[in-house]
């Protein structure tokens, strides 16, 4: 009886193991079908049609750098994906986009974060992206490339580009520049304070403020009043000039930055362009992408 039981168990193991071995063989074969690594551009997203100019510019530059590479998009914002779906525009989450690429047999993927800082969303795509490479039959490799303001040098380069290429040339001495960051409850929010320090060292009338973090806009507004500044250029420190830029920054509502500055006698000049509309800024993301592509084994 014991011998017969062992024989049955052995047969059961074979029944289970053979399909698994076959699946592993198929996955291995798919990984060697000659496909190059794919690039997945990951952003928070936007539902503002005019803001898509920034995304179009990024894609154009990436395709120029990698002409024979499959390039896909993913939005991390569920709210924006749902809103766009009602308009007939289907955007994948990073996880769905990765699943599609895996199902299509791409062996390797580079996920390029188009966020400003390595905050909560960046860490989520990093964690989930790596899990896809740990799946049985999953990707051979997943690289997650850094967002824009990921280190000290990147902050310096970004501020240099903002000062040289984005601040309007008609700005006069004594007029301020206020960069609007989003802000976050993640510890990486400290990057905005570090950027503020750098901005002030570069130009005493250049400021960084955030919608939901620190430095707070009220702090900057108080300093403008204290200095007697009468005019300020408002520039979104964001990938696109989306809802925050058009409403929270430049809107006509009483709580917008423009309206709150007007209440204290400061004229505002909003610059409604996302950072990704400027090629030198996109080049910084491309540098990060090139580093990640080079890590592909």
Q: Is 123 a catalytic residue?
A: no
Indicate which residue of 29, 115, 123, 182 is catalytic.
182
Q: Along the 297 residues of the chain, how does pLDDT read in single tens digits?
A: 434 434 333 333 333 333 433 343 344 444 446 688 999 999 999 998 888 899 999 999 999 999 999 999 999 999 999 999 999 999 999 999 999 999 999 999 999 999 999 999 999 999 999 999 999 888 999 999 999 999 999 999 999 999 999 999 999 999 999 999 999 999 999 999 999 999 999 999 999 999 999 999 999 999 999 999 999 999 999 999 999 999 999 999 999 999 999 999 999 999 999 999 999 999 999 999 999 999 986
Q: Per residue in 165-175, pLDDT tens?
A: 999 999 999 99
Q: All domains of the chain, ordered by start, with CATH?
A: 34-147+278-294 (3.40.50.1400), 152-274 (3.40.50.1400)
Q: Per residue in 270-287, pLDDT tens?
A: 999 999 999 999 999 999
SS3 labels along the chain:
CHHHHHHHHHHHHHHHHHHHHHHHHHHHHHHCCCCCCEEEEEECCCCCHHHHHHHHHHHHHHHHHCCCCCEEEEECCHHHHHHHHHCCCCCCCHHHHHHHHHHCCCCEEEEEECCCCCCHHHHHHHHHHHHHHHCCCCCCEEEEECCCCCCHHHHHHHHHHHHHHHCCCCCCCCCEEEEEECCCCCHHHHHHHHHHHHHHHHCCCEEEEECCCCCEHHHHHHHHHHHCCCEEEEEECCCCCCHHHHHHHCCCCCCCHHHHHHHCCCEEEECCCCHHHCHHHHHHHHHHHHHHHHCCC
């Amino acid at each position: 009886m014991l011998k017969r039981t062992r024989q049955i168990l052995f047969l059961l193991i074979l029944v289970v193991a053979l399909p698994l071995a076959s699946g592993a063989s198929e996955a291995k074969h798919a990984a060697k079908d000659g496909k190059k690594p794919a690039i997945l551009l990951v952003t928070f997203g936007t539902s503002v049609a005019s803001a898509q100019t920034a995304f179009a510019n990024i894609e154009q530059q990436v395709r120029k750098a990698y002409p024979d590479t499959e390039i896909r998009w993913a939005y991390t914002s569920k709210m924006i994906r749902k809103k766009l779906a009602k308009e007939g525009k289907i955007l994948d989450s990073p996880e769905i986009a990765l699943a599609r690429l895996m199902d299509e047999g791409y062996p390797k993927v580079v996920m390029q974060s188009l966020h400003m800082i390595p905050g909560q969303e960046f860490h989520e795509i990093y964690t989930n992206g790596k899990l896809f490479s740990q799946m049985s039959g999953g990707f051979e490799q997943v690289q997650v490339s850094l967002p824009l303001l990921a280190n000290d040098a990147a902050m310096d380069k970004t501020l240099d580009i903002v000062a040289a290429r984005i601040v309007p040339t008609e700005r006069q001495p004594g007029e301020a520049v206020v960069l609007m960051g989003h802000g976050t409850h993640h510890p990486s929010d400290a990057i905005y304070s570090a950027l503020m320090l750098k901005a002030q060292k570069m130009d005493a009338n250049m400021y960084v403020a955030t919608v939901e973090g620190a430095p707070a806009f009220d702090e900057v507004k108080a300093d403008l009043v204290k200095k007697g500044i009468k005019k300020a250029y408002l520039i979104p420190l964001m990938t696109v000039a989306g809802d925050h830029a058009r409403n929270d920054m430049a809107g006509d509502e009483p709580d917008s930055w423009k309206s709150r500055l007007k209440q204290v006698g400061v004229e505002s000049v909003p610059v409604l362009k996302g950072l990704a509309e400027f090629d030198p800024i996109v080049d910084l993301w491309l540098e990060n992408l090139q580093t990640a592509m080079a890590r592909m084994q």
